[in-house]
């Protein structure tokens, strides 16, 4: 068993790879009532093209199939839906699909092991028929239509399509009504047998657990499955350049919303440090205490805080900055000027240290919540990152490196603007 420890937040993660290949991470939180479990599979919407090693066949599956499978996994051969079973136990259960992984989760205060029985049973027991796959098509079609009417999602997807030419991150996670029409039970079983393999999964549990006894309970609930097929993921080569600078849409909203994106390149071994630097830059330039934010707020160009995030995985990386404004292009131009100013002057040392301490406090605070701890561990594990590195490295982040990131990443040639305007 491997023990990963953080001296800063005084937390430990106990990690064991079981005989069947499943990696289990237990994060004990003594005297906490809630218990949180998340089971992640490294299979998301971008994994739509792969080669089966045994046959050499190349497989192209319909867009949206990862999300479709997530929906179908709850339906069991006994006619029950596992979400309903878990809900009857007083457990809050859910699932989600992202660009690079799919996860199933639940949070419980009581009936934990009864919930774990159902949870581990349905994730390991796919049951797809012609009838139940067809039944789901209309449900997911309605969900796709709902997302099409969601302004923030339209804003995000248009931003992705401005930045990425061939990377499948520019494809909607749920697919389209046309692509899901090609999904059948055989394709779902192909995906399950190709990617829902124990050695491609991570089970994270956070709560008041005794590690050894919990691991024994998990081992009891493991099912013996036939060998799954080995596959190689295939991703198209993505150019460094953006596709286009600007995209707009019109929807039924009261005020324009906008998203500024900066396309970046992956730097293995440096992503935590870079993430911290970008968060620090965004805090200093456009955080609520910044002169820039205060000026734009007083001028009425913005009425809310900026949201910003560095989104990255193994095949993509980009900065996203979002807000509302009656004049998105003006705000974007003003932000570009502010960035150029800091490229010339650099950051104030005292302000830089203050922002780092603020970030450190936020990271430490996140360790009070079992769901945040488990979700962050899963996300970082799939990005091949030690989740404790963020809190360990934030205070030693240096100003010179941060200013270097500002100059190299926040460049006009890699910037896009996505805007959603009110209907006329």
Question: Which residue among 11, 42, 70, 247 is the active-site one?
Answer: 70
Query: How far from 86 is each of 41, 171, 202, 219, 281, CA to CA, in Å?
Result: 20, 32, 21, 20, 43
- CA–CA distance, 73 with 140 (Å, rounded to integer): 14
- Measured distance CA(106)–CA(266) in Å, rounded: 32
Do 412 and 322 contact (CB within 8 A), yes or no? no
Catalytic site includes residue 334: no
What DSSP state is assigned to residue 96? E
- Residue 31, C-beta contacts closer than 8 angstroms, at least 6 positions apart: 208
For residue 280, which of 394, 199, 142 has the smallest C-alpha distance?
Answer: 394
DSSP secondary structure of 214-255: HHHHHHHT----PPPPPEEE--PPPPSS-S-SEEEEEES-SS
CB 147 within 8 A of CB 70: no
**Nearest-CA neighbor of 310 among 258, 377, 263, 373?**
263
Q: Which of 70, 74, 38, 376 is CA-nearest to residue 195?
A: 70
φ/ψ bin of 312: left (φ > 0), alpha (ψ from -120 to 50), beta (otherwise): beta
Alpha helices (H) along 181-327 = 185-195, 211-220, 271-286, 291-298
- In this structure, how many other beta carbons lie within 10 angstroms of the beta carbon of residue 377? 25
Indicate the DSSP class of residue 385: -
Q: Give the side-chain half-sphere CA count within 13 A for 310.
A: 19
The residues assigned a catalytic role are: 70
């Amino acid at each position: 068993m491997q023990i990963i420890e953080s001296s800063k937040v005084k937390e430990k993660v106990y990690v064991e790879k079981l005989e069947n290949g499943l990696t289990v991470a237990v994060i004990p939180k003594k005297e906490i009532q809630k218990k949180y479990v998340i089971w992640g599979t490294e299979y998301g919407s971008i994994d739509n093209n792969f080669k089966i090693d045994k046959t050499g066949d190349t497989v192209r599956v319909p867009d949206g199939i990862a999300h479709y499978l997530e929906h179908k996994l709850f339906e069991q051969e006994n006619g029950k839906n596992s979400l309903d079973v878990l809900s009857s136990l007083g457990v809050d259960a859910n699932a989600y699909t992202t660009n690079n992984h799919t996860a199933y989760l639940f949070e419980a205060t009581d009936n934990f092991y009864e919930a774990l029985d159902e949870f581990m049973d349905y994730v390991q027991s796919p049951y797809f028929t012609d009838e139940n796959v067809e039944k789901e098509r209309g449900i997911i079609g309605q969900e796709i239509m709902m997302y099409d009417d969601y302004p923030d999602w339209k804003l995000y997807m248009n931003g992705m399509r401005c930045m990425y030419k061939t990377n499948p991150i520019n494809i909607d996670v749920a697919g389209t009504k046309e692509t899901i029409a090609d999904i059948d039970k055989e394709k779902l079983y192909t995906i399950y047998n190709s990617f829902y393999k124990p050695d491609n999964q991570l089970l994270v549990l956070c709560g008041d657990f005794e590690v050894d006894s919990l691991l024994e309970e998990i081992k009891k609930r493991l099912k013996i499955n036939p060998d799954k097929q080995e596959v190689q993921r295939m991703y198209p080569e993505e150019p460094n350049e953006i596709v286009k600078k600007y995209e707009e849409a019109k929807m039924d909203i009261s005020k324009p919303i906008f998203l500024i994106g900066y396309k970046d390149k992956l730097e293995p071994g440096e992503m935590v440090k870079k993430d911290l630097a970008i968060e620090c830059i965004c805090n200093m330039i456009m955080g609520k205490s910044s002169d820039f934010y205060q000026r734009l707020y007083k001028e009425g160009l913005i009425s809310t805080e900026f949201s910003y995030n560095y989104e990255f995985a193994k095949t993509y990386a980009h900065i996203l900055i979002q807000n509302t404004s009656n004049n998105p292009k003006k705000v974007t131009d003003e932000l570009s000027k502010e960035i150029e100013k800091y490229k010339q002057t650099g950051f104030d040392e005292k302000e830089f240290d203050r922002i780092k301490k603020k970030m450190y406090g936020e990271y430490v605070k996140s360790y009070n919540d079992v769901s945040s701890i488990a979700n962050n561990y899963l996300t970082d594990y799939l990005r091949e990152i030690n989740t404790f590195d963020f809190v360990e490295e934030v205070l030693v982040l240096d100003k010179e490196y941060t200013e270097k990131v500002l100059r190299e990443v926040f460049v006009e040639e890699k910037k896009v603007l996505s805007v959603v305007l009110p209907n006329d």
